[in-house]
Amino acid sequence: VARADALPTCHRSLVVIDPGGQPLRQGMLPPHAVLAFGAEREGLSRELMARASHCVSIPMSAGVSSLNLATAVSVILYTWKLAQ
């Protein structure tokens, strides 16, 4: 989503994935949440970050700064599914 106002109005938590967020743990993502991932270089807009109810990061090993987007989505969805 390029603009936060393009999000549908709903009563679901908006979870943004950002390196500055809380380290992801199993069970911390709310059920039925809307997940927002940013582009690999630019990340998410400040506006979208401000609307988030949760901000999580993927814990990384020393010396690893990021994952590509497809890998990050896979890690988040796998962790989310384990909690269900």
**Mind listing the domains of the chain with CATH numbers?**
4-82 (3.40.1280.10)
Band (pLDDT 50/70/90 cuts) for residue 83 is confident
Residue 67 makes CB contacts below 8 A (sequence gap 6+) with: 58, 60, 75
For position 5, what pLDDT does the model report? 66
Residue 1 makes CB contacts below 8 A (sequence gap 6+) with: 7, 36, 48
What mean pLDDT value characterizes the chain? 86
Measured CA to CA, the distance from residue 26 to residue 47 in angstroms comes to 27
- Rounded to an integer, the average pLDDT of 15-27 is 92
The C-alpha torsion from 17 through 23 and 58 to 38, rounded to 10°, is: 10
pLDDT over 60 (residue 46)? yes
